[in-house]
Amino acid sequence: MNQPDKEKTETIKNTSNDGLLHILGSGSALPMRDNYPTSQILELRNKQFMIDCGEGCQIRLREMGLSTSRLGHIFISHLHGDHCLGLVGLISTLGMMNRTADLYIHSHPDLERLTLPLLNYFCAESPFKIIFVPFNPSKHSIIYEDRSIEVYSIPLIHRVPTAGFLFQEKEKPRHIKREMIDFYNIPIASIHKIKMGENFQTLEGEVIPNSVLTTPSTPPLRYAFCSDTAYNESIIPFVEGVDLLYHEATFAESELLRAKKTMHSTARQAAEIAKKANVKKLIIGHFSARYRNKEILLNEARSVFKNTLLAEDKKTYPFF
Amino acid sequence: MNQPDKEKTETIKNTSNDGLLHILGSGSALPMRDNYPTSQILELRNKQFMIDCGEGCQIRLREMGLSTSRLGHIFISHLHGDHCLGLVGLISTLGMMNRTADLYIHSHPDLERLTLPLLNYFCAESPFKIIFVPFNPSKHSIIYEDRSIEVYSIPLIHRVPTAGFLFQEKEKPRHIKREMIDFYNIPIASIHKIKMGENFQTLEGEVIPNSVLTTPSTPPLRYAFCSDTAYNESIIPFVEGVDLLYHEATFAESELLRAKKTMHSTARQAAEIAKKANVKKLIIGHFSARYRNKEILLNEARSVFKNTLLAEDKKTYPFF
């Protein structure tokens, strides 16, 4: 039997549009013109998720020209006002824009009882359903799953129960080469197994290694969001090697004591986590209002972990 | 007896700094970058009041560099989200700024039960007291009074119970001329009566007319806020002759039917009210998001009432 083309060894790479992080708010408790409270939109391939929902996030969405037609799930890290007070306004606006798809809100259980009276009052005519999905922020567990994505909670250390989030694509089947199917007369019944990594045995008994028949799938995208939190090495196993880590960096090193007291991190500490977890890229955010110029935070982080970027409101960050 | 200086006839005028309106938000239900939801700060001489508290008003305060150290009272016109969803965030921020003075919130009674659970949760450590003062928006009545100011509710026509507000300085005593006190040997006991308008009788029995003894006080400042409302001539007696009227003008005349249906006003209707009430100056606001360029609204209003201005976020409007 003739041999088919030599095995291609190149890896299929994710491209810059496969993972995008849109920053709606990069500030902390005191909103500033250039740093609204925490909120961001994550795009993983064609899916859209919102993380936190600080006051004014709906204004940022509009400023950025971001459509929310693919937004089905909002994840709230913790119940401090600067992470969730924009929720009712956003939902009210989505209703006026005639959204009809259900909207799921994943959060600490208390959010429902705090927010539902307002939603019933201000958004009584909402044309879509709002479904609260409570989770326990103090536990590492899977809190959302669909065909291609899993979201895990990451327990953080803060003044109230707080979770970070790991968004992770599921491992995808390998790509089978069309020409191999023809060459080896592979029956349809075997294709799924080969995509899942099995070898193939021809009618003549020859075993064709999987690596000859398939190319790797694109690597799963992984994004971790960790805010608000004190320096906490116990999160390292959860964020190990992620493509992109957003970690809070509320203070510079000169405010280390204040960071400890308020259970926040310094920029340097954020970078320590990034380095120890061997992540690919770090974005720091949740800046204290005292830093008009954030260069000091960026420099302190970069001295530990070079591939660090500053979060900026209204800016979009590709994973790669 | 020699006659004193001839009676001075000039009127004492208010100056441009005696009454100031700061626009924090001039938009309507859909927040836009340049038109946040309704909120404004009124300054009457050295006093400061907030009217409505739409999402993002605390950001506007900061952008405008406005201190709230003299702010003791917030008046909420009605319980639609675009008029009150910024309240919890604002209160939370005031707490972080270490405010200690009590803050009074005047509104429909429902606001307390909607907001209190959030305040207790997010602002539990607030260093100042928040006092809800309910009023009935469907009734014209005095809802606040101090030594120099009265605030009246103005029933408006909208989809939920809604009130406008009339802020009115109390009539001030006339100024007694120092040289008259000396010239006629006016005893201290008589001074208050003369300031209140009485004549003075000398020991010789001569009656000195009050107009010789005093000069008029500065005219009381009067500001009326009317949003949201359908065209409603019944408010005219309440806003008659005010120095400044803020009236909603959500739509242009081409959307007259939509204005009726949603119980809003057109710019022309706002101007009709201003004209019929003979107000001194009109500011129109609460613009629908469809009007990027508001010239059409301004022109339609000015064709009826010339002294009309467009509300603009972050702009301060002197009364005179």
Query: For residue A13, what pLDDT is reported?
Result: 80
Predicted confidence band of residue A7 (pLDDT cuts 50, 70, 90)? very low
Measure CB to CB from residue A96 to each of B29, B63, B86 and give the nearest one.
B29
Q: Which of A3, A88, A90 is nearest to A41 (CA)?
A: A90
Q: Is the pLDDT of residue A205 over 90?
A: yes
Predicted confidence band of residue B83 (pLDDT cuts 50, 70, 90)? very high
Q: Is the pLDDT of residue B31 over 80?
A: yes
Note whether B59 contacts A31, CB cutoff 8 Å.
yes
Predicted confidence band of residue A17 (pLDDT cuts 50, 70, 90)? confident
Note whether B81 contacts A122, CB cutoff 8 Å.
yes
Q: A64 touching B, CB under 8 A?
A: no
Q: Which residues of B touch A87 (CB under 8 A)?
A: none
A309 burial level (CB within 10 Å; 0-12, 13-18, 19+):
middle
Q: Is the pLDDT of residue A211 over 80?
A: yes
**Percentage of chain A surpassing pLDDT 90?**
93
CA B124 to chain A, closest CA, distance in angstroms equals 11
Predicted confidence band of residue A2 (pLDDT cuts 50, 70, 90)? low
Note whether A29 contacts B114, CB cutoff 8 Å.
no
Binning chain A into helix, strand and coil, the percentages to the nearest 5 are 25, 25, 45
* B154-202 confidence digits (pLDDT tens): 999 999 999 999 999 999 999 999 999 999 999 999 999 999 999 999 9
Q: A236 touching B, CB under 8 A?
A: no
Query: For residue B15, what pLDDT is reported?
Result: 82
DSSP-assigned beta bridge partners for residue A150: A145, A168
Q: B89 touching A, CB under 8 A?
A: yes
Query: For residue A11, what pLDDT is reported?
Result: 62
Q: Is the pLDDT of residue B2 over 70?
A: no
Q: B50 touching A, CB under 8 A?
A: no
CA–CA gap between residue B271 and residue B267 (Å, rounded): 6
| pTM of the full structure | 0.92
Within A9-109, residue ranges assigned H as helices are 57-64, 87-96
Predicted confidence band of residue B3 (pLDDT cuts 50, 70, 90)? low
Predicted confidence band of residue B7 (pLDDT cuts 50, 70, 90)? very low
Query: For residue B165, what pLDDT is reported?
Result: 98
Query: For residue B34, what pLDDT is reported?
Result: 94
Q: Is the pLDDT of residue B64 over 70?
A: yes
| A75-99: average pLDDT | 96
Q: Is the pLDDT of residue A64 over 90?
A: yes
In the predicted model, what is the mean pLDDT of chain B?
94
DSSP-assigned beta bridge partners for residue A47: A44
Measure CB to CB from residue B121 to each of A30, A56, A114 and give the nearest one.
A114
User: In three state form, how does the secondary structure of chain B look?
Assistant: CCCCCCCCCCCCCCCCCCEEEEEEECECCCCCCCCCCCEEEEEECCEEEEEEECCCHHHHHHHHCCCCCCEEEEECCCCCHHHHCCHHHHHHHHHHCCCCCCEEEEECCHHHHHHHHHHHHHCCCCCCCEEEEECCCCCCCEEEECCCEEEEEEECCCCCCCEEEEEEECCCCCEECHHHHHHCCCCHHHHHHHHCCCCEECCCCCEECHHHHEECCCCCCEEEEECCCCCCHHHHHHHCCCCEEEEECCECHHHHHHHHHHCCCEHHHHHHHHHHCCCCCEEEECECCCCCCCHHHHHHHHCCCCCEEECCCCCEEECC
| A10-23: average pLDDT | 83
| A249-277: average pLDDT | 98
Q: Is the pLDDT of residue A3 over 80?
A: no
Note whether B31 contacts A96, CB cutoff 8 Å.
no
**Which residue on chain B is closest to A93 by alpha carbon?**
B30
| B124-152: average pLDDT | 97
Q: Is the pLDDT of residue B78 over 60?
A: yes
Note whether A89 contacts B59, CB cutoff 8 Å.
no
Measure CB to CB from residue A29 to each of B31, B88, B96 and give the nearest one.
B96
* A163-196 confidence digits (pLDDT tens): 999 999 999 999 999 999 999 999 999 999 999 9
Note whether A80 contacts B122, CB cutoff 8 Å.
yes
**Which residue on chain A is closest to B57 by alpha carbon?**
A56
* A271-306 confidence digits (pLDDT tens): 999 999 999 999 999 999 999 999 999 999 999 999
Note whether B114 contacts A118, CB cutoff 8 Å.
yes
Predicted confidence band of residue A109 (pLDDT cuts 50, 70, 90)? very high
B18, B34, B52, B82: which one is catalytic? B82
Active site annotation includes B182 = no
Measure CB to CB from residue A89 to each of B81, B96, B97 and give the nearest one.
B81
| B101-123: average pLDDT | 97
Q: Which of A53, A85, A49 is nearest to B93 (CA)?
A: A85
Number of residue pairs across A and B with CB atoms under 8 Å?
90
| A122-150: average pLDDT | 96
Query: For residue A285, what pLDDT is reported?
Result: 98
CA A287 to chain B, closest CA, distance in angstroms equals 16
**Which residue on chain B is closest to A120 by alpha carbon?**
B114
ipTM: 0.90
Predicted confidence band of residue A15 (pLDDT cuts 50, 70, 90)? confident
* B216-267 confidence digits (pLDDT tens): 998 999 999 999 999 999 999 999 999 999 999 999 999 999 999 999 999 9
Token look-up 């307390």 returns B112
Note whether A81 contacts B96, CB cutoff 8 Å.
no
Q: B160 touching A, CB under 8 A?
A: no
- Tell which wins on pLDDT, A111 or B8: A111
